[in-house]
Structure 1
Amino acid sequence: MNKNFFENQSHYRLLACLAFLGYFFLMFGNGMVSLTHPDEVFYVQSAKEMVQHNSWLTPLIFDWRQFEKPILFYWLMAGVIKIFGPTPFVARFWPAFFGILGVLTAYGIAWTLFRQKRLAFLSGVVLMTSWIYLALSRAVLTDMVFSIWVVMALGAFCWGYYDRRYREKGIIVFCVLCGIAILTKGILGLLFCMTPVLGFLIYKKDLDFLKTRSLLWGILLLAAIAVPWHVLMYRWYGQEFIQEYWQNVHVRRIFEAEHPKSDKWYFYPLLMIGGVMPWSLFLIPTAGLVYRLFTTSTENRDRFAFLLFWIVATYLYVQPAHSKLASYIFPVFPAIAILIAYSLERILEGDVEKFFNKMAESIGYLMAAVFAGMGIAAIVMAKKYSSYVPDMLPVYVFAGAALLWAGALALASAKKRYGTQLAINASFTCLILLVMFSSRPSIEPWVSCKDISLVLNKTDQSPTTLLTSKFYVRGVRFYTDRKVAVININGKGFFSPHPIPFLNTDEKVLSFLEQQPVTYGIVRKNDLGDLYRITADGYHLQELDDIGGKHLIKIEKKS
């Protein structure tokens, strides 16, 4: 990874290279696995129903309005679905596209801050090969799209701040992107964009940077983008919109955990460390190097300050909320990738104390042990849960390749070939991706309702309402286009209410079964046990199929 090679390349060529790599890591093969439950099918089903009902302003789910998110992501989804249909690749196109765009933006921000092409290129590579970035680029969620609007807004600020020729344009573009972020995920779009910038400018004692007419124009454009849809929804739906969109989505999640198991103080710190695998161990020299340079030298201090304000501001908003998800903290990862790339650049240059080079060597050995351990663990776990792994060949291939990667990484570390070490580290993500592709036949039945729904569609074409488990209801609706009801004995309703029957008592289930002579359903094992108990006296329950832990059943009254 010769530095002169990178410095002699044009930005266009380096960006084109990152875009090509980004396509492979983040978009290639996105149509191989069917849309998964419960989240992917939620967003795609909403967009599909918007197209079916020609409802381009109001998001829908189960043929009824829903305000889980603002409208922009649904517009993007509905647009491509209307043209190309709701296929997996089409549905995952926008998250993957924005994932690639985020890689290019990280390059641009790193270049703006440090003016080193190899460092900027490394920022893009670290980001695209981080496992959390790979995962969210390949999932139909709003968070990748939202996060990249935020990242591009912060990039526009950097552009205007560090090159004052573009101050006016930078402020206007920042405000426009901030407005688009609000239209994608609500008030967090404003907070995640504005807080790092204001904190940084206060730290720099440079709030005068904002004293320009372009800020007024920017605010007007922000309002023109973000406000009209919200006003229209309030005028059309009044308190229903306020209750669902503001109270339930924005306020309730601060005080109530949607997923109680993740409501731990250490959830986000561990995620920020683990999310950048296979680069996690490099956070140790990164933290030490940044701390030393920040406290003992003025060189690049304000650049580090900006990246740290970016990370800390986002963290301080999401940490106090009881509803915690991996995707909520996602906007910090481009900043973390740039900091890691900075330390990698210094190690490659040899422009650090021997301690840091020794640490890089040690990290190589440790990561080699991690790779080898993953290969061995894959075989052990596959044999332990053999019923879930119909074909062991992909497991053995992965284990062998992981051991090969481990050996190569250990050898590169021993010879102090840090560039080779980094290339091997990054390419391990490629191995993970290839194994996922080859494991598709084993994985898909467990993560998607498609296969079991196809069997149901062949078995029954009646218009009756289907009975499903809570976890499967969105997937069953998407793949069958049938009305659905949920069985979840003693369970709580959806965090965001769905306009479908929710049967959480024996009496409600029996009342539902009375309404139609034959009921088909797709349920989990625990719900199947409840149904056997509830229907023991007056109904005949028949199991028709079992795919990926999903039981296809038929219930009819005893004659």
Structure 2
Amino acid sequence: MRSSSPVRDAGLPMGVIALVAIAVLLVWFGTLDARHLLRPDEGRYAEIAREMFRSGDWITIRYNGYKYFEKPPFHLWVTTLGYELFGVGDWQARLAVALSGIAGIGAMMLAASRWYGCRVALLTGLAMLAMPMWSVAGHFNSLDMTLSGALAGVLAFMLLAQHPDATPAARRGWMLACWVAMGVAILTKGLVGIALPGLALVVYTLVTRDFGLWRRLHLVTGIAAMLVVTVPWFWLVSARNPEFPHFFFIHEHWERYTSTVHARKGSIWYFVPLLLAGLLPWLGLTPRMWTVVRERAGAVRGAGGKPFQPALMCLIWFAAIFAFFSLSSSKLPGYIVPVFPALALLVAVALDQINEKSWNRQINALLVLAVVGVAAAPYVATLSRDSNPNEVFRAFAVYVGVAFAVLLAGMLLARRLLRTHGLLPSIAAFALSMFLTCTIGLLGHEVMGRRASGVDMVPAINAVLKPDMPLYGVGMLDHTLPFYLGRTLTIVAEPDELEFGAKQEPKKWIPTMEAFVAKWRDGQPALGIMGLHTFDALTAQQVPMYVVARDGRRVVVSNFPLPSSPSSHPAASATPAPRTAP
């Protein structure tokens, strides 16, 4: 059953909806290859999957050849499958997050359609598409979106199962799908996949005193289904690697949440600006979203017990996850991406009840933002930093100007459509222009991200790197070059996040700089990747080094003269690599 809010305009023809959906999918998936991978997450997970693809070992996760047990494998499995089907590359590395983002939108639209009707389902999809955090996370190779897509499935399938008109068979089926999605969430990022839904459910039942809800969760069969999804990998990896359980469950869960062991500190307000940015186009609807919850929109009493309140569940889902990560001692921006599907459904119900006058104010607010953004583009062109010179900011400013110009045009179109065709076409233009604005801005980041990726150094490195030649990461773990080179690094002196793996297999790394220098001088041709300070320090020690390539972040050197300058002085033969893509 759906809410009683009136439909005030005819909506959009199915043909138009189909064309818009196709266009959105083309933009969503067609832009995955438009940027090179960024460090650390994008390069790390792309490389782990590449090593899994090359080795054929889908159980013991390795990064740079070292055991890497910080996260479970589902995201990596999907990425590796993409490599199997389409080859190794940037867009294949992002395929898992892109699919997760679209799957999350589809699941929430399905739940919204069941509770509130097709109009609200369409509005839910538009709301999620226009949320900057969702669209950006759906194009950034990280576990956060894969987890968020799975958790969107958990929420949506639970909402579908708890509809009062659901038959016993349908409720059982949707709840089994919910538990399976929870298993996927656990296989993506660990016990948080069950902790977050469990926390939301406990809070909901305490607030509503609807303890009968627990009888409708099909706990026995559901938990069995979740265990079928999760236990095989945990069993196999623990059997092959006895050190796994303590590191994964104690260090990566309890210590990560309760301490700053990973140096990811942040105040309790850390996620507030990220929430505001992620909900930016819909912030003006916040009072209406609260009204939707307070008036129990969609709640209908079933055959027995208290009525299930889908809007309240979405609010509690958001609040529980937001509070959980705000209280954690470890914080990263992507942690709160799972809150946005629940907020999107509340936004959609609020939009379904909005009048033209109020909606016009929403358009005007974003119109002002668009004007400010266009005006700010020339200022961006004046910026300069050590890592990114002014020429980079000048190029990025063009994207900023175009992005906000698109937003400006979209808001003007939304105003016109409101007058001529009604609310729904206007809302669609509003949401789609915001989606395009975020997409263009993200594409523009390539002018900065390309430099960080090191991809322009690859041709010069490949010109001298031989298959049997050692490749050292000297005092640093580079997160992108190994992927683009198709080679793992031997870590020197600083294991970074590979400390656990280095302890398990100590012969695979060189623990001191002195031992590395001795190895470097032994006559075997080798290359090393190092930071600028390390390069300067080794140069001062007169360690023989010939610069193969360098950028503003790192230097790649050899211990043998380069063919183009055999008589040149070591370390004085620095020649920047040609800045061409591989």
TM-score by length of 1: 0.84
Give runs of aligned pairs for residues 227-376 of structure 1, distance below 5 A: 227-238=231-242, 240-257=243-260, 260=263, 263-277=266-280, 279=281, 282-286=282-286, 288-295=287-294, 297-300=295-298, 302-347=309-354, 349-350=355-356, 357=358, 360-376=359-375
2:182 paired residue number:
178
Letter aligned with residue 369 of structure 2: V
- 1:306 offset after TM fit, Å? 0.8
In the TM superposition, what is the alpha-carbon distance from 1:370 to its structure 2 partner?
Answer: 2.2
- Is 1:484 the counterpart of 2:486? The answer is no
Q: Considering only aligned residues, what root-mean-square deviation do their CA atoms show, in Å?
A: 3.5
Q: Which has the higher contact order (CA 8 A, sep 6+)?
A: 2
CA–CA distance in structure 1, aligned partners of residues 128 and 510 of structure 2: 42
Deviation at 1:331, TM superposition (A): 0.8
The whole-number CA distance in structure 1 between the counterparts of 2:538 and 2:248 is: 37
Opposite residue 252 of structure 2, the aligned amino acid is V
Q: Which runs of 5+ in 2 are unaligned?
A: 1-6, 300-308, 503-507, 562-568, 571-582
Instruction: Give the letter for the 1:42 counterpart.
Output: R
Q: CA deviation at 1:390?
A: 5.6
Question: Which AA in structure 1 matches 2:285?
Answer: P
Question: Identity over aligned residues, as a percent?
Answer: 20
Letter in 1 for 2:126: V
Which runs of structure 2 are paired with 1:469-480 in the superposition (5 Å)? 473-480=478-485
Alpha carbons of 1:429 and 1:470: their partners in 2 closer, same or farther (altered >3 Å)?
farther
Q: 2:45 is aligned with what amino acid?
A: Y
Contact 2:269/2:326 (CA < 8 Å) preserved in 1?
no
Corresponding residue for 1:224?
A: 228
Change (3 A) 1:420 1:237: same
Q: Which amino acid aligns with 2:283?
A: L
User: Quick one: distance in 1 between partners of 2:434 and 2:476?
Assistant: 33
Question: Could you tell me whether the CA contact under 8 Å between 2:150 and 2:185 is conserved in 1?
Answer: yes
1:285 offset after TM fit, Å?
A: 3.3
Q: Indicate the SS of the match to 2:33.
A: coil
Counterparts in 2 of 1:375 and 1:544: CA distance versus 1, 3 Å: farther
* Residues 392, 448 of structure 2: 8 Å contact kept: no
Q: 1:486, CA displacement in angstroms?
A: 4.9
| 1:69 aligns with one of 58, 68, 71 | 71
C-alpha separation in 1, matches of 2:13 and 2:75 = 39
Residues 179 and 533 (structure 1), Cα distance of their counterparts in 2 relative to 1, 3 Å cut = closer
How many residues are treated as equivalent by the alignment?
Answer: 533
2:146 paired with 1:148: no
Is the contact made by 1:178 and 1:222 (CA closer than 8 Å) also made in structure 2? yes
Which residue matches 1:430?
A: 436
Look up the match of 1:93: 95
Unaligned ranges ≥5, structure 1: none
Q: Distance in 2 between matches of 1:432 and 1:314?
A: 25
Post-superposition offset of 1:250: 1.2
Change (3 A) 1:447 1:493: closer
* CA displacement at 1:107 relative to structure 2: 1.3
The AA in structure 1 aligned to 2:227 is A
- CA-to-partner distance for each residue in 1:263-293, whole Å, 9 max, x for gaps? 121111221111233x1xx32432x223345
The Cα of 1:152 is off from its aligned counterpart by 1.0
Moved more, 329-338 or 195-204: 195-204
For 1:539, give the aligned amino acid.
V
Q: Any conservation in 1 of the 2:474–2:491 contact (CA below 8 Å)?
A: yes
Superposed, 1:143-222 pairs within 5 Å as 143-162=144-163, 163-165=165-167, 166-211=170-215, 214-222=218-226
Partner of 2:426: 420
| Structure with greater helix share of residues | 1
Given residue 305 of structure 1, which amino acid in structure 2 is its aligned partner?
L
Q: Which SS does the other structure have where 1:473 is aligned?
A: coil
Superposition deviation, residue 520 in structure 1: 3.0
Residue number in structure 1 paired with 2:452: 447
Residues 153 and 178 in structure 1, CA contact (< 8 A), matched pair in contact too? yes
Give the direction of change, closer, same or farther, for the CA distance of 1:397–1:495 in structure 2 (3 Å limit).
closer
Give the aligned residue type for 2:426.
T
Cα gap change, 1:427 to 1:543, in 2 (>3 Å): same
Deviation at 1:305? Answer: 0.9
Is the Cα–Cα contact under 8 Å of residues 130 and 275 in structure 1 kept in the other structure?
Answer: yes
Matches within 5 A, 1:79-118: 79-115=81-117, 117-118=118-119
Instruction: Check conservation: 2:67, 2:500, Cα contact below 8 A.
Output: no
3-state DSSP of counterpart to 1:521: strand
Q: Distance in 2 between matches of 1:411 and 1:423?
A: 7
Indicate conservation of the 8 Å contact 2:274/2:333, yes or no.
Answer: yes
Residues 37 and 471 of structure 1 are in contact (CA less than 8 Å); yes or no, is this contact kept in structure 2? no
Describe the SS at the equivalent of 1:553. strand
Which residue matches 2:136?
A: 135
1:39 alignment counterpart: 41
CA contact (8 A) 1:36 1:449 kept: no
Contact 1:244–1:496 (CA under 8 A) maintained in structure 2: no
TM norm structure 2: 0.81
Q: Which moved more, 1:84-93 or 1:421-430?
A: 421-430
Aligned-partner residue type, residue 337 of structure 2:
F
| Offset at residue 33 of structure 1 (A) | 2.3
SS at match of 1:211: helix
- Quickly say closer, same or farther: Cα 1:158–1:501, change in 2 above 3 A: same
Q: Deviations over 1:331-383 (max 9, x none)?
A: 11111122222222222x45xxx7xx2xx545444422322222232322223
Q: Bigger CA drift: 384-393 or 173-182? A: 384-393
Alpha-carbon shift at residue 197 of structure 1 (Å)? 2.9
Does the CA contact (< 8 Å) of 1:50 and 1:60 recur in 2?
yes
Q: Cα distance, 1:158 vs. partner?
A: 0.9
Change (3 A) 1:3 1:96: farther
2:476–2:491: 8 Å Cα contact kept in structure 1?
no
Counterpart of 2:57 in 1: which secondary structure?
coil
In 2 relative to 1, CA 445–498 (structure 1 residues): closer, same or farther, beyond 3 Å? farther
**Distance across 2 between alignment mates of 1:298 and 1:428:** 29
Taking the aligned partners of 2:349 and 2:317, their CA distance within structure 1 comes to 16
SS in 2 for 1:330: helix
Q: Is the aligned partner of 1:465 residue 2:504?
A: no
- Go from structure 1 to structure 2 and tell me whether the alpha carbon gap of 1:262 and 1:344 turns closer, same or farther (over 3 Å shift): farther
**Deviation at residue 427 of structure 1 after TM alignment:** 0.4
